[in-house]
Structure 1
Amino acid sequence: MEPDVHAEHIAMLALLQERPALAGQRRGDTSWPTISAEVSLRGSACALWQDLHPLTFDGMDFQPEIDRAHARLTAWRDTDFRLITVLDEDYPLRLRTVHDMPPILFVKGHLHPDDVGVSVVGARAASPRGRTIASHIATGLAERGIMVISGLAAGIDTAAHRATLAAGGLPIGVIGTGITGVYPDNDASAQLHRQVATTGALVSQFWPNAPPHRHNFPLRNATMSGLGYASIIVEAGEHSGTRHQARAALAHGRPVILTDTVATDTEWGRTLAGRHGVYVAGSTADVLGIVEDIITTARTAELAVLPGTDDDAQ
């Protein structure tokens, strides 16, 4: 999010009674994850605004933020994307449980709060073997009804989503640009973005026209981790940006599955391989078996704490 438009979010909620866009004003050390958590806790962004910016005897000139918010909302009214905020019932349930959940998601396609998905990610400059492994894993996930989450970058991400589409599965593409952008910017990538949005969902946490800033991609990786039950790292070099996803997943308490190549051929992979919650897989069958166990265990735990269960009644 651009730092000069945080106040505008407050105006959006003031204009539309907390819906459809999150409002938040970042000042000083107040971060977006903190704002998301505090708004979710209060159930109101306006309440957070009042806490962070109490009225003084001199009052507050709020009109510029209201005007800018109104202009944005008017511009987005007839677009092909929708807004989901942490205040909405259709905000993804898995994403709500991570500390760095984004306050706003822009979505094309069908994103449901209880989607069951797993990230398949890796290097942009992927080897033919890496792309083949990604394709086989994605196909296996699609055949099991598990949504394939990836970042629509070149290499592993593209291979995973193309295989998902070919298998009749449901892809979720989480991108590092605004929802109207395409990266990498070429015809093949634009076509894949459209296919993902039509079949599954295209998701962005940035303003619709935001360019692919370097700092966007670690934020995007954290969101991918939060949306899924696990992150599968297919192939990644010593300095690959995919490391951000592995770190985010471990911070979220989400399992990380490394192929044996990543676990043995990179220093960071060897370091991670010994940590709690990190699995090393030597084949596609290994990966899929680990994923099935992870999801079964997680879903059982989730059902155990739902209202009306035995645990709740005790």
Structure 2
Amino acid sequence: MLLDYFHDDVAAAWNANWKELAQAGLDQSIIDSFIRQRASSNPQRELEKLERLRVQVITIRDNAYPSLLKEISNAPTVLYVAGTLKKEEDSFALGIVGTRKVSAYGRQVTEQFARGLAQGNVTVVSGLAHGIDAIAHTTALDAGGRTIAVMASGLDIIYPSENTGLARRIVESGQGALLTEFPLGVKPDSKNFPARNRIISGLSQGILVTEAPKQSGALITANFALEHGREVFAVPNGIYAMGSVGVNKLIQDGAHLVTDVQDILMSLNLFMIPEHIEMQVALPDNEEEGALLPLLSHDPLHIDEIIRISELPTMTVTSTLMMMEMKGMIKQISPMQYILAR
């Protein structure tokens, strides 16, 4: 690796001459390509653009680089990240992939599994595409969980554009991140999607395919998972459904047949994730917080129900919930709906 030769001195590697690059072990074609790209690049301008877009650059040598992804043989050297990666929490992750042309059944099972995983503190990873991907991301956010969207383009080019709002929500919610190995300005070329799929697999302890026809790109992701030594899960469907062919073939080939999120949690031993993560949990500071905290769980509860069950005055409940949210004890995931924080 180039940085090995230059002892992690990025500036020295960038400014190296032809002879030094050859001594670093690069072949002639790579050196020529590197020098051409360097001549047409303006690092300072690129850095300013990254800062303006609040994009973080993480190299494989950085401590923030995802642990699971580093394990695969073809891990990307550089990642571009917008939003929030949490190395420990995101090491408990599962990829959910499937068809863009989702059926009512596919939507239902994807929502069921994404919600269950998110409520179980498992980060949901997908590819920000139409259909299954978007449903998985959205459901994880709605459930108060974390999600990572892996892109086949630069972070300044959201594809498909219809998911721009979802991408913004992932970043601004603090519940996840957009991630890619492609620099700013790179368009979503067809060859980029298999590369993206290997990252989805690399970030995940396993891959769940909820609905996929015979030629679905989700099957490519499943194949990467097998290459990476990760588990593959598939939700069965009727033999006459178009979206069943791919998943049923995966099951025939040895994928785990799953009908409930507990099947996945048990297979990957993910039942007690909070015990694996060192977390500082805020304790109740007063009687009101002590009365409200036991009422909340990872299932949303409306403030009207909280008031009814607690039998506390409305103003007391409202002000106490506000303080608990500020302390990070609870989250408001939709208007007046509250859950326990992670």
TM-score normalised according to structure 2 size = 0.66
Q: 2:117 aligns with which of 141, 153, 159?
A: 141
Corresponding residue number in structure 2 for 1:109? 83
Give the number of aligned pairs: 256
1:18 is the counterpart of 2:10? yes
Q: Note if contact 1:231-1:246 (Cα within 8 Å) is conserved in structure 2.
A: yes
TM-score normalised according to structure 1 size = 0.71
Deviation at 1:64, TM superposition (A): 7.3
C-alpha distance in 2 between matches for 1:217 and 1:249: 15
Q: 1:280 aligns with which of 257, 265, 268?
A: 257
Structure 2 counterparts to residues 33-72 of structure 1, below 5 A: 50-52=24-26, 65=38, 68=41, 70-71=43-44, 72=46
C-alpha distance in 2 between matches for 1:127 and 1:64: 44
Deviation per residue, 1:218-240 (Å, 9 max, x gap): 11111000001110000011111
1:227 is the counterpart of 2:203? yes
Deviation per residue, 1:141-181 (Å, 9 max, x gap): 11111111111111111111111111111111111121111
Query: How has the CA–CA distance of structure 1 residues 67 and 267 changed in structure 2, closer, same or farther, with 3 Å as cutoff?
Result: closer
Q: Note if contact 1:236-1:262 (Cα within 8 Å) is conserved in structure 2.
A: no
Q: Note if contact 1:233-1:242 (Cα within 8 Å) is conserved in structure 2.
A: yes
C-alpha distance in 2 between matches for 1:90 and 1:191: 26
Structure 2 counterparts to residues 62-211 of structure 1, below 5 A: 65=38, 68=41, 70-71=43-44, 72-114=46-88, 115=90, 116-186=92-162, 189-198=163-172, 199-211=175-187
Partner amino acid, structure 2, of 1:91: Y
Query: How has the CA–CA distance of structure 1 residues 64 and 257 changed in structure 2, closer, same or farther, with 3 Å as cutoff?
Result: closer
Deviation at 1:76, TM superposition (A): 2.6
Deviation per residue, 1:57-88 (Å, 9 max, x gap): xxxx9697277262433443433111011121
Q: Note if contact 1:234-1:262 (Cα within 8 Å) is conserved in structure 2.
A: no
Query: How has the CA–CA distance of structure 1 residues 288 and 213 changed in structure 2, closer, same or farther, with 3 Å as cutoff?
Result: farther
C-alpha distance in 1 between matches for 2:251 and 2:232: 9
C-alpha distance in 2 between matches for 1:250 and 1:264: 27
Partner amino acid, structure 2, of 1:100: N
Query: What is the RMSD of the two structures over their aligned residues, measured on CA atoms?
Result: 3.5
Deviation per residue, 1:5-37 (Å, 9 max, x gap): xxxx969x97x8238xx97x9xxxxxxxxxxxx
Corresponding residue number in structure 2 for 1:243? 219
C-alpha distance in 1 between matches for 2:22 and 2:252: 42
Q: Note if contact 2:99-2:131 (Cα within 8 Å) is conserved in structure 1.
A: yes
Deviation at 1:124, TM superposition (A): 0.4
C-alpha distance in 1 between matches for 2:37 and 2:142: 48
Say which SS state the counterpart of residue 202 (structure 1) adopts.
strand
Query: How has the CA–CA distance of structure 1 residues 209 and 10 changed in structure 2, closer, same or farther, with 3 Å as cutoff?
Result: farther
Deviation per residue, 1:102-161 (Å, 9 max, x gap): 111100111133321101111001001101111111110111111111111111111111
Structure of larger gyration radius: 2
Q: Note if contact 1:229-1:295 (Cα within 8 Å) is conserved in structure 2.
A: no
Partner amino acid, structure 2, of 1:99: S
Query: How has the CA–CA distance of structure 1 residues 64 and 171 changed in structure 2, closer, same or farther, with 3 Å as cutoff?
Result: closer
C-alpha distance in 2 between matches for 1:88 and 1:207: 18
1:290 is the counterpart of 2:264? yes
Q: Note if contact 2:68-2:203 (Cα within 8 Å) is conserved in structure 1.
A: yes
| Structure 1 unmatched ranges of 5 or more | 1-8, 26-45, 55-60, 304-314
Partner amino acid, structure 1, of 2:65: Y
Partner amino acid, structure 1, of 2:251: A
Q: Note if contact 1:263-1:280 (Cα within 8 Å) is conserved in structure 2.
A: no
Q: Note if contact 1:98-1:252 (Cα within 8 Å) is conserved in structure 2.
A: yes
Say which SS state the counterpart of residue 148 (structure 1) adopts.
strand
| Structure 2 unmatched ranges of 5 or more | 29-33, 278-342
Counting aligned pairs with the same residue, the percent is 28
C-alpha distance in 2 between matches for 1:178 and 1:49: 31
Structure 2 counterparts to residues 294-305 of structure 1, below 5 A: 294-296=268-270
Partner amino acid, structure 1, of 2:77: P
